[in-house]
Amino acid sequence: MKKLRWIIPVFFVLFMLWACGGKQAAPAASPAATTAAAATAAPTTAAPTTAAPKETQAPAPAETKAPETETEDPADTETEEAADEAAPAEEEDPEDSFLGEGYDGEALTKEGFITFFDYLLTDNEMDPKDFFLTFEGKTYRYADLGDLYDAMEPEGGGIVMLLGELEEELDFEIMAGYLAFFSDMPAWADEPAGPSREFIDRFYGDWHGVVQFRDCTGKYVNSLGADPNWATSIARIYIDSDGYVVPFIGLHVEDTPIKDLEAVLDEENDCLLLSGSWISVPFEDIPMTEKNGTLHAEIPISKEAGSVTLVFNFRHLNDIGWTNEDPALPEDYIVHCQGWSFDRLAEANGYSLSDYVQYSAGEEPEYPVQIVKEEPKEDFGKTTKDADGVVTKEALQKGYNAIMSELDKSGHDPVHYEMARDWFGKDGKKASASQWHEGRHIYEWQTADGKDWVNIRFTVYTDGSERLDTINQSEGILNGRK
């Protein structure tokens, strides 16, 4: 048998694939077995009469027992049996003559031979232009595979691969078995491509908007159906390149978020299918659609105490394309939330970073139109961010005494912040941030060790002035007043 020497790095992979593929096809004949088969096939076909003597000897005992009943002409019997012996060789299709023993499939055609190498090159991610091999001293490239087939066929279609000291045969039978295996490959081999990038981008990214409470019955008429019958909501729809969705929808009504939320892209029905639960009521395969930049979904919830339909409407974060015609997007919501970061919106809705998926570098969504809303600056009133209000005990006592003396006067004038600052000798620090608002400012002056202090609450008037409302002090300062 002629030998084909593989001189490309992939030949070892081909051998391994052959070893696995051989289990799918019929058992391959060894070189010796193929040679033996060829040696015995030739005399059977060329000289079928050689079987006649064996057949005339075998039935002899039967002929001696009942010679009188023998009606067949021995010559006819010999001829028929000889014909039966020769029948397989006479009926053999010339195309099948180069197949190995035991193969009962179709002959490997030239087209199938080339397809076999197509599979192997594709499976090993090898460029056909880099592929070549030699056979009988001649080099064959991918474009020459048809010529290689013609050269191999008269030799029985056998390839001997030399792997170190190992010598293994890859013949046309095994190649045909490969093709049968690939054609019967399970469904995963022909899985359709994932959703298109264009379809993914319609849902991908950060969204904010509102949820309306529609068709309320029972307890939900009063708890959710009153004006305004909507609440703020946010969503992050993360989708990888394969179309796997990691959804998050922030809804904190009745102190209950949406739980076990899952989503699947449904390109055929042009939607995102949502499943999960809210207030322990499960929902499944709820379509979320995208139209003109708005995400919309309606989730029906029903319990013994009543029912409600949650109607979600979202727009991409920082998209300024909203109009008054957009469904369920109140103008005051747009005014107050436009330009906020997603993290800030999430925090305002009671969520933290651990509740939703984070983007990796390069995955942050890009929106066609964005605005940046300046974050409101912290209000420090008449003082500054760096003011610490630390003074000596003597200055603290002097300032306190001056304020109290003014307040003791009959018909005294209001004590303004500037007056207190001058008596203490420096600005006070902003205090009680939780109680600080645009109509009330609280300042504090204290000693370095914090043992003595004076805390003053001022009312803020429309003219910008801040006038003393109440004053509190440590026991040491109270006792030191003269």
For residue 68 the two structure tokens come to: 């009188």
Identify whether residues 148 and 101 lie together within a single domain: yes
Q: Classify residue 83 by its DSSP letter.
A: H
pTM of the entire predicted model: 0.43
* Better-predicted residue by pLDDT, 319 or 11: 319
Select, from the ranges 84-93, 245-254, 442-451, the one with the highest average predicted confidence (pLDDT). Answer: 442-451
* Better-predicted residue by pLDDT, 311 or 87: 311
In the prediction, which pLDDT does 322 show? 63
pLDDT digits (tens, 9 = 90+) for 110-168: 888 888 888 878 877 788 888 777 777 788 888 888 888 888 776 555 554 433 343 44
Select, from the ranges 32-36, 154-158, 467-471, the one with the highest average predicted confidence (pLDDT). Answer: 467-471
In the prediction, which pLDDT does 39 show? 32
Select, from the ranges 24-28, 47-51, 354-358, the one with the highest average predicted confidence (pLDDT). Answer: 354-358
pLDDT digits (tens, 9 = 90+) for 127-140: 888 877 777 778 88
Identify whether residues 243 and 320 lie together within a single domain: yes
Confidence band of 344 (pLDDT split at 50, 70, 90): confident
Q: What is the residue type of 188? A: W
Burial tier of 377 (Cβ tally within 10 Å: 0-12, 13-18, 19+): exposed
Span 253-268, average pLDDT: 87
3 state SS of 165? coil
Q: Is 381 among the domain residues?
A: no
d(CA 133, CA 147): 12
In the prediction, which pLDDT does 159 show? 53
Confidence band of 297 (pLDDT split at 50, 70, 90): very high
d(CA 475, CA 482): 14
Q: Which domain holds residue 225?
A: 197-355
- Position 23 pLDDT exceeds 50: no
Identify whether residues 332 and 397 lie together within a single domain: no
Domain end: 355, 383, 402, which one? 355
CATH, residue 328? 2.40.128
In this predicted structure, which of 53-57, 178-182, 290-294, 350-354 has the lowest mean pLDDT?
Answer: 53-57
For residue 165 the two structure tokens come to: 């000291």
pLDDT digits (tens, 9 = 90+) for 184-206: 655 444 555 678 888 998 999 99
For residue 93 the two structure tokens come to: 């299709």
DSSP string of 238-264, one letter each residue: EE-TT-BEEEEEE--BTTB--EEEEEE
For residue 334, the surrounding DSSP H or E stretch is helix 331-337
Q: Is 130 among the domain residues?
A: yes
In the prediction, which pLDDT does 432 show? 87
CATH, residue 411? 3.30.160
In the prediction, which pLDDT does 341 show? 83
* Non-local CB neighbours of 408 within 8 Å, separated by 6+ positions: none
Confidence band of 435 (pLDDT split at 50, 70, 90): confident
In the prediction, which pLDDT does 40 show? 31
Round the average pLDDT of the chain to a whole number and report it.
74
Among the listed residues 290, 280, 243, the one whose alpha carbon sits nearest the alpha carbon of residue 263? 243
Identify whether residues 143 and 89 lie together within a single domain: yes
Identify whether residues 177 and 206 lie together within a single domain: no
Identify whether residues 176 and 220 lie together within a single domain: no
Identify whether residues 341 and 397 lie together within a single domain: no
In this predicted structure, which of 57-66, 73-82, 139-148 has the lowest mean pLDDT?
Answer: 57-66
* Better-predicted residue by pLDDT, 71 or 182: 182
Identify whether residues 113 and 230 lie together within a single domain: no
> Is residue 79 a contact partner of residue 85, using CB atoms and an 8 Å limit?
no
In the prediction, which pLDDT does 92 show? 43
